[in-house]
Structure 1
Amino acid sequence: MATTHSGAAARPHTHHRTPELHPTGVLILLAGAFLPIMDFFITNVALPSIDTSLHASPASLQLVIAGYGVAYAAFLVLGGRLGDRHGRHRLFLTALVAFVLASLACGLAPSVEVLIAARIVQGAAAALLVPQVLATFHHALEGERKARALALYGATSGIAAVVGQLVGGLLVSANIAGTSWRPIFLVNVPIGLVVLLVAARIVPDTRSHHPVGVDLPGTVLFAATLVALLVPLTEGHALGWPWWTWLLLALAAVLGVVTHLVEKRAEQRGEIPLLPPSLLRLPSMSRGLVMVLAFSIGFGAFMFVFALTIQDGLHADALHGGLAILPMALLFFAGSVLAPRLLTRFGRAAMSAGAVAQLAGLAWLVAVLLMDWPHVGLWTMAAPLALAGAGQSMLFAGLFRSVLADVPAHLGGIGGGVLITLQQSGLALGVATLGTLYIGLAPHGVSHAFATVEYVHMAIVALLAVGAAALPRLTHATVDTPVVDA
């Protein structure tokens, strides 16, 4: 297969043949997607170090994570549509440059306020970057190669979450030249530049032949709704719930209703809005998106509170905090590799079995922490974490595969964008809600604070185990469903 340079890419208006994507190009695009996904979680193990260095409040530390997640979620669909209209190759490179520069600003931040602002910019750049990866796979690959690339993306997005905390622990503990937590952001600079240089040469340019217009009102309203919801949830407890936090929560409800009405009217005018109401009414979307949101809330909260429990509660350093999550990372990766075959063979039963395995692993982990506290070793947590990781990999893969089952092919990209937007919103919401619950309870006992959060998490997973039976059947055909092609 010949390597196609971007300069030689066929113009969409001359003919519809898309240049082929070299296998190395697939890996480079996956690397480009890996960095933004990993960066949502890499800060978890660095939070104590950031606190010490920048004298940050608990609420500010939550905003370091949630601010990134909100910006990522709010602009994700917009990123996909801009790539469709202006060329995915160009937008991938532009967004990667912005992500690298924002990472540099994070690494050099002199205060927590500057760090939060840089993280918001970093999240927005990630939202422009990641959709180009999925859309390029859809347009430049066919058949088995496309299915394999999409499966690799699913595995990459899942493993990046867990590896982020491992890499973060290694970098913080290394304390390179006395820089403490800063390398967790600065490492993106050399890696991003390598990806940029290689992608500029071997990734073909693609764009939609019929690009969908940018839904500016829907994008602004949705972003405003997320901000109005997550800011008071993140800051309210630390500030004693002043009046303006309740006002913002009420405003979030109003904005949510206004967003729905605006999107409904846009669809009635024949436009394709950011969140199409007709698409959200499809059985696979209406049921599956609720489950994706719930899964993401629990997962985002778990990664946040587990890192704090290991470091603040067990007084482990960042390296051991990162290593603690390694069993989950290994089994999540192994499960992601096996998931497509098992889901094809056993369908929704495999998802329910995965949820039960995750539930058992979480219950086991809570029991270990409560019984052995404060003398909990990494080895005693390894088996329950491994079981939880294996189970959640199956549930994660099945949810992504089933949500798009009823979506028409020409709306596959819109559906995929909504799916990933809800996923990122859930991660940020998990940190803002269950993370706040943990921070409020931790002064009275870290192990019991962790257990309380995980009881809520386990209730969510139990509901997901039952809810999997209500999802559409998983067939082999759904593997090749287009993920992003607005």
Structure 2
Amino acid sequence: MAQAGGLHPIGVFFLLAGAFLPIMDFFITNVALPSIDASLHASASELELVIAGYGVAYAALLVLGGRLGDRFGRHRLFLGALVGFVAASAVCGFAPTIGVLIAARIVQGAAAALLVPQVLATFHHTLEHERKARALALYGATSGIAAVVGQLVGGLLVSADIAGATWRPIFLVNVPIGLVVLVVAARIVPATRSDHPVGIDLPGTVLFAATLTAVLVPLTEGHALGWPWWSWAMLAAAVVLGAVTVVVERRAEQQGRIPLLPPSLLRLPSMSRGLVMVFAFSIGFGAFMFVFALTVQDGLHRDALQGGLAILPMAVLFFLGSVFAPRVIGRFGRAALSVGAVVQVAGLASLVGVVVHGWPHVSLWDMALPLALAGAGQSMLFTGLFRSVLADVPIHLGGVGSGVLITLQQSGLALGVATLGSLYLVRAEHDTAHAFATVEAVQIAVIALLAIGVAALPRFTTTAADTPVIDA
């Protein structure tokens, strides 16, 4: 087992690359949906399942993925899950029917859930002080960049129509990249596992997965299917399942076991406050990426390439902002997160103004500056929130804490698409510009609340290396 500090900087890069692919794949399909529809003759509900199937499997199994890595070894699970992800991506790329594509996406999401928690847990176990803070900041940046790059790369690949394959390369591109990461990571990433591995909480895992599925499936499919009786029954069941999950997890911890979602871990200051903010942020972000792609392609009638390029200003400023975020946060602390939130609100509000007042003759250039502002602001907020959540987590629970964090992020992304995305689809039938404005008004309100709420996060202080760490 590798000792602290045993992870080479190149290993950090390839672990981040392994996390990049699953995160990117949640968003890369947004700009490809019209092409998938034309190729496989999918219904609206089936197209939503292409995204929701991946998101539900990913979110439902993330905590289990962290637990399995703690017990059986993060290096082994990272490599095995990466093989599964690459194989499922290949099946997605060659899928002959929409049913096969949806099934392969579910498998792909499950493999991603086993893969991603190993990245944060390995950082948590092998790195110390400023190196750990920097790696966590880079992970936060990678998560956000993967989202916007996903839509950009998706647009480029669909428009290139390589060998007449239209949308298929958005999945097949994972194969060569994943194989390179697999070969390099197998050689240079140290093998680690928890010194105090805990058992698999089978009841908690099943209950949590059932609760999440009962929430996300009807919210995703309800609108497209006209809200049938079973959608309301599932939502009612989700309330009951959630209550049972809480009772079972509390009882497990009282009996001396470590449940899937330890209540004591969730009560840590960094977790209890930071997770709520990450969840709220992710709901708005997931909804934005979904509705922006549809607004540009279906509303402004731009092709997939233009739909991908439209998000480029946000991607560039998010990347640049993430590079400087650790040093800025180190100097100004929580105030930097509040300023980032204010800048993001300004960018989103300006974007809404451009879309509403210029519709239907909105130029992509007109949206560039507002998108750049939004990207710069959210890079600061996103990086700070991610780094704050794991501050108080004990090293031996690194996999559990990482799984909880990413589960809340992924659940928020999926819930944003399911709720605000459905709201957009309902209103877009009558007025696309105002449908976009309605969704963004909700996101702006959430970000504005976060600008105030960051004061409740643990304080950021600065190490000798000028890299922020977090005090409880």
TM-score range, shorter chain: over 0.9
1:139 matched to 2:105? The reply is no
Alignment of 1:149 with 2:107, yes or no, is no
Q: Aligned partners of 2:245 and 2:363: how far apart in 1?
A: 48
2:68 pairs, out of 72, 82, 90, with: 82
* Residue 308 of structure 1, CA deviation: 0.6
Aligned to 1:96: 82
Which of 376, 385, 397 is the aligned partner of 2:383?
397
Letter of the 1:72 counterpart? Y
Q: Retained in 2: the 8 A contact 1:19–1:204? A: no
Aligned-CA RMSD value: 1.9
Q: CA deviation at 1:18?
A: 6.5
1:460 aligns with 2:452: no
Is structure 2 residue 164 aligned with structure 1 residue 188?
no
SS at match of 1:237: coil
Structure 1 CA distance for aligned equivalents of residues 445 and 136 of structure 2: 30
1:264 alignment counterpart: 250
CA offsets per residue over residues 200-230 of structure 1, 9 Å max, x none?
2222222222112211111111110011011
2:39 match: 53
Select which of 407, 413, 424 maps to 1:438. 424
- Match in the other structure for 1:342: 328
Shift of 1:410: 4.6
For the Cα contact (< 8 Å) 2:5–2:128, is it kept in 1? no
Give the aligned partner of residue 383 of structure 1: 369
| Residue identity matched to 1:442 | A
**Which amino acid counterpart does residue 419 of structure 2 have in structure 1?**
T
How far, CA to CA, are the matches of 1:398 and 1:202 in structure 2? 29
CA offset digits 1:51-101 (Å, max 9, x no partner): 211222222222211221221111112112212221222111111110001
Match runs of 1:189-338 below 5 Å = 189-338=175-324
CA distance in 2, matches of 1:462, 1:19: 38
Please list the CA deviations of residues 413-465 of structure 1 after superposition, one character each: whole Å capped at 9, or x if unmatched: 43332111101000000001111111111111211111111111111111111
Letter in 1 for 2:348: L
Aligned to 1:273, the other structure's residue is in SS state coil
How far apart are residue 256 of structure 1 and its match? 0.4
Aligned partner of 1:164 in structure 2 is 150
**Separation in 2 of the partners of 1:188 and 1:118?**
14
Deviations along 1:121-176, one digit per CA (max 9) or x if unpaired, are: 10110111112222222333344333332222222122111111110010000001
Which residue does 1:362 correspond to in 2? 348
- Whether the aligned pair in 2 keeps the contact of 1:225 and 1:252 (CA below 8 Å) is yes
Per-residue CA deviation, residues 239-270 of structure 1 (Å, 9 max, x unaligned), is 22111111100000000000000000010011
- Cα distance change, pair 402–204 in 1 and its aligned pair in 2 (3 A): closer
Offset at 1:19? 8.5
**How far apart, in 1, do the equivalents of 2:224 and 2:180 lie?**
41
2:51 aligns with 65
The offset of 1:466, in angstroms, is 1.8
- Name the aligned partner's letter for residue 369 of structure 1: V
Residue 93 of structure 2: aligned partner? 107
Contact 2:344 2:373 survives alignment (8 Å): yes
Deviations 1:301-346 (A, max 9, x none): 0000000110011111111111000000011111111111222222
Q: Which runs of 5+ in 2 are unaligned?
A: none
Contact 2:71 2:197 in 1 (8 A): yes
Separation in structure 1 between the aligned mates of residue 399 and residue 178 of structure 2, nearest angstrom: 26
Cα distance, 1:197–1:68 mapped onto 2, change above 3 Å: same
Percent identity between matched residues is 80
Indicate how the Cα distance of structure 1 residues 20 and 277 shifts in structure 2: closer, same or farther if over 3 A, else same. closer
Contact 1:18 1:206 in 2 (8 A): no
Between 31-40 and 344-353, report the one with greater CA deviation.
344-353
- Contact kept, 8 Å, 2:61 with 2:114, in 1: the verdict is yes
Counterpart of 1:353 (choices 319, 339, 345) is 339
Instruction: Classify 1:228/1:113 alpha carbon distance in 2 versus 1 (closer, same or farther; 3 Å).
Output: same
Q: Distance in 2 between matches of 1:347 and 1:144?
A: 15
Alpha-carbon distance in structure 1 between the residues aligned to 2:66 and 2:334: 30
What is the alpha-carbon distance in structure 1 between the residues aligned to residue 286 and residue 125 of structure 2? 31
| Distance (whole Å) between structure 2 residues aligned to residue 18 and residue 291 of structure 1 | 30
- 1:25 pairs, out of 11, 33, 39, with 11
The structure-2 alpha-carbon separation of the partners of 1:84 and 1:409, relative to structure 1 and needing over 3 Å to count, comes to closer
Decide whether aligned partners of structure 1 residues 354 and 217 sit closer, same or farther in structure 2, where only a CA change above 3 A counts.
Answer: same
Separation (CA, whole Å) in 1 of partners of 2:261 and 2:7: 30
Counterpart secondary structure, 1:238: coil
Cα 1:308–1:398 shift into 2, 3 Å = same
Query: 1:7-22 residue pairs with structure 2 within 5 A?
Result: 12=1, 17=3, 20-22=6-8
TM-score of the superposed pair, with normalisation by structure 2: 0.95
Q: Distance in 2 between matches of 1:27 and 1:406?
A: 25
Following the alignment from structure 1 to structure 2, what is the Cα–Cα distance between the partners of residues 127 and 216? 16
**What's the secondary structure of 2:194's corresponding residue?**
coil
Evaluate the alpha carbon distance shift between residue 479 and residue 267 of structure 1 in structure 2; reply closer, same or farther with a 3 A threshold. Answer: farther
Amino acid in structure 2 at the alignment position of 1:277: P
- Measured at CA, do residues 409 and 186 of structure 1 come closer, stay the same or move farther in structure 2, by a change above 3 Å? closer
Q: Hey, what's the Cα distance between the residues in 2 that align with 1:82 and 1:479?
A: 30
User: 8 Å contact 2:288–2:440 — kept in the other structure?
Assistant: yes
Distance in 1 (alpha carbons) for counterparts of 2:103 and 2:248: 29
Shift of the 416–196 alpha-carbon distance from structure 1 to 2, 3 Å rule, reads: closer
Gap regions ≥5 residues in structure 1: 1-11, 482-486
How far residue 371 of structure 1 moved from its aligned partner, in angstroms, is: 0.9
Once the two structures are overlaid, the 10-residue window that deviates more, 195-204 or 40-49, is 195-204
> CA, structure 1 residues 472+227, in 2 after alignment: closer, same or farther (shift >3 Å)?
same
Amino acid corresponding to residue 96 of structure 1 in structure 2: L
Which amino acid in structure 1 is aligned with residue 69 of structure 2?
A: G
Contact 1:85 1:208 in 2 (8 A): yes
CA offsets 1:38-59 (integer angstroms, 9 cap, x no match):
1111111111111211222222
- With 52-61 and 143-152 compared, the bigger mean Cα shift is at 143-152
Q: 1:117 to 1:480 in 2, by over 3 A?
A: farther
State the AA in 2 paired with 1:473.
R
| Cα distance, 1:415–1:29 mapped onto 2, change above 3 Å | closer
